[in-house]
Copies of this chain bind each other. A is one copy, B any other.
Amino acid sequence: MQTYASFSPPPRLLLGPGPSNVAPSVLKAMSLPLLGHLDPEFVKMMEEIKAMLRQVFITRNDLTFPISGTGSAGMEFCFVNLVEPGDEVVIGVNGVFGGRMADVAERCGAKVTRVEAPWGQIIEPQQIADALKNKRPKIVAIVHAETSTGALTPVEEISRLAHEAGALFLLDTVTSLGGCPVKIDEWQVDAVYSGTQKCLSCPPGLAPVSLNARALEVARKRKTKVQSWYLDVNLLSSYWGQERVYHHTAPISMNYALHEALRLVLAEGLEARWRRHEQNHLALKNGLAAAGLELASKNGHPLWSLNPVTVPGSVDEALVRKRLLGEFNIEIGAGLGPLKGKIWRIGLMGESSKKENVEKVIEALRTTLRN
């Protein structure tokens, strides 16, 4: 048998679309000795995670907890529990993740109406209003922050329209939570999911979710069984609720990390954290301009945590990313879909959102583009 050496990762500055860099105390939490998943001390920590998640989502929803999978599992959790075959769902599609929501919903048997906007643009309330004119869909779903383009869609008005049409309002906050205002109760979001590896700066592996009473009632009163056993909220709520009924073995160490990451978010304070993300976004924008580069988002709704940068005409964008990684240990992201080759994506999320990192990436880009 071949033998292998222990893995030793190079020290990367993570300025891509996620994961972001992680605070030392979060890494330390990952290395704490394990507990059983029904241990009273672990259960106490689960309660603290739920309480902290409620503060970060700004919600009183009792059912607020992390799914044992990455952000896409959180997306699937929302759709498998709320959709039954034949249900109508209206989904805003202005990038990769809106398209993914439509795919996931269709796999649940939904009849999906896609409300499309060009990549980089937001979904306008009027588009949703038009789509709802002759419809009473069960769900209206929107991606708050499109990681693939850096567009932030304002959702309060869309939420109002969805409820007027009798629908649940479902929101993807994977790249917004912890990096800009996300107000679940105030915005009347019925179902929401996020990821841990973006602005919360916890390693990837969990997906915080929250359902309000209205969404939970829909899941409880289904005529058909939830097609996923792993993501069935009726089973999961018994484990994460008061009964503590064994469902699956929770990822112990990942929950340690999330506990510590949430603790840091709340210690900094949500408002201060949002402001920090805004300031470093502006510093990047100004620094890029001084270097002769510019942000690709121009519609007045830029995302602070994920910045699309226009690749200058004659530049080999893949080579620039390769050199940033090889010579500077800096990761930035590529464009996807129609934006492939046209933009870079510079993430300034959580621990990665620092003034010194903005300076480092601009300096590295300057140097690389010069020769």
Please, which residue of chain B has its CB at the minimum distance from the CB of A79?
A: B229
In chain A, positions 81-132 with a C-beta closer than 8 Å to chain B are: 100, 103-104, 106-108
Q: Is the CB of B229 within 8 A of A103?
A: yes
Q: Is the CB of A254 within 8 A of B254?
A: yes
CA distance A302 to B226 in the complex (A): 35
Kindly specify which of A16-24, A133-141, A183-191, A357-365 makes contact with the partner chain.
Answer: A16-24
Q: Is the CB of B21 within 8 A of A9?
A: no
How many of A's residues come within 8 Å of B, CB to CB? 85
Q: Shortest Cβ distance from A271 into chain B, in angstroms?
A: 11
A162 CB-CB contact with B under 8 Å: no
A320 CB-CB contact with B under 8 Å: no
Q: Is the CB of A42 within 8 A of B9?
A: yes
Q: Is the CB of A229 within 8 A of B104?
A: yes
A252 CB-CB contact with B under 8 Å: yes
Q: Shortest Cβ distance from A249 into chain B, in angstroms?
A: 4
Q: Is the CB of B227 within 8 A of A107?
A: yes
Task: Please give, as numbers and ranges, the residues of chain B lying within 8 Å of A6 by CB-CB distance.
Answer: 25, 29, 259-260, 263
In chain A, positions 280-315 with a C-beta closer than 8 Å to chain B are: none
CA distance A30 to B71 in the complex (A): 20
In chain A, positions 311-345 with a C-beta closer than 8 Å to chain B are: 325, 331, 336
Q: Is the CB of B252 within 8 A of A203?
A: yes
Q: Shortest Cβ distance from A95 into chain B, in angstroms?
A: 13
Query: Which among B11, B31, B71, B226 is the interface contact of A27 at CB below 8 angstroms?
Result: B31
A69 CB-CB contact with B under 8 Å: yes
In chain A, positions 253-277 with a C-beta closer than 8 Å to chain B are: 253-254, 256-257, 259-260, 262-263, 266-267, 269
Task: Please give, as numbers and ranges, the residues of chain B lying within 8 Å of A230 by CB-CB distance.
Answer: 69, 72-73, 76
Majority secondary structure, A binding face = loop
Copies of the protein in its oligomer: 2
Task: Please give, as numbers and ranges, the residues of chain B lying within 8 Å of A11 by CB-CB distance.
Answer: 33
Please, which residue of chain B has its CB at the minimum distance from the CB of A35?
A: B9
Q: Is the CB of B325 within 8 A of A39?
A: yes
CA distance A37 to B29 in the complex (A): 21
Q: A2-B51, A249-B197 known; A7 and B45 CB under 8 Å?
A: yes
A145 CB-CB contact with B under 8 Å: no
Q: Shortest Cβ distance from A29 into chain B, in angstroms?
A: 7
Q: Is the CB of A203 within 8 A of B1?
A: no
Task: Please give, as numbers and ranges, the residues of chain B lying within 8 Å of A195 by CB-CB distance.
Answer: 249
Q: Is the CB of B266 within 8 A of A4?
A: yes
Task: Please give, as numbers and ranges, the residues of chain B lying within 8 Å of A31 by CB-CB distance.
Answer: 27-28, 30-31
Task: Please give, as numbers and ranges, the residues of chain B lying within 8 Å of A369 by CB-CB distance.
Answer: none
Please, which residue of chain B has its CB at the minimum distance from the CB of A74?
A: B230
> Which residue of A7, A41, A52 has the most chain B CB atoms within 10 A of its CB atom?
A7
Q: Shortest Cβ distance from A371 into chain B, in angstroms?
A: 23
A34 CB-CB contact with B under 8 Å: yes
CA distance A204 to B18 in the complex (A): 22
Q: A34-B14, A229-B72, A230-B73 known; A259 and B104 CB under 8 Å?
A: no
Q: List 25 A-B contacts (CB under 8 A).
A: A4-B48, A4-B52, A4-B262, A6-B29, A7-B260, A9-B34, A10-B41, A12-B34, A16-B36, A22-B34, A34-B203, A35-B331, A37-B204, A68-B73, A69-B69, A69-B73, A72-B248, A76-B228, A107-B226, A107-B228, A197-B249, A203-B253, A204-B249, A204-B252, A205-B253
Closest 4 CB pairs of A and B: A205-B251, A31-B31, A30-B30, A203-B253
